[in-house]
A and B are shown apart, each in its own frame.
Chain A
Amino acid sequence: GQNIDQPTEMTATEGAIVQINCTYQTSGFNGLFWYQQHAGEAPTFLSYNVLDGLEEKGRFSSFLSRSKGYSYLLLKELQMKDSASYLCAAMDSNYQLIWGAGTKLIIKP
Chain B
Amino acid sequence: GAVVSQHPSWVICKSGTSVKIECRSLDFQATTMFWYRQFPKQSLMLMATSNEGSKATYEQGVEKDKFLINHASLTLSTLTVTSAHPEDSSFYICSARDPSGGETDTQYFGPGTRLTVL
* Interface residues of A, Cβ cutoff 8 Å to B: 30-31, 33, 35, 40-45, 48, 50, 87, 91, 95-97, 99-102
Contacts and interface: CB of A to CB of B under 8 A. Distances in A.
Contacts of A91: 105
A44 B110 CA distance: 9
A99 B109 contact: no
Contact of B103 (A35, A45, A50): A50
Nearest to A8: B41
Interface size class of B (residues with CB under 8 A): 10 to 19
A103 to B, nearest CB: 11
Nearest to B2: A45
Interface of B: 6, 42-44, 46, 49, 91, 93, 103-112, 114
Contacts of B111: 41-42
Interface secondary structure of A, over-half rule: loop
Contacts of A99: 43-44, 46
B43 A42 contact: no
Contact of B43 (A30, A33, A87): A87
A95 B105 contact: yes
Contacts of B42: 101
Nearest to A95: B105
A44 B95 CA distance: 10
A45 B43 contact: no
Nearest to B32: A95
Contacts of B108: 45
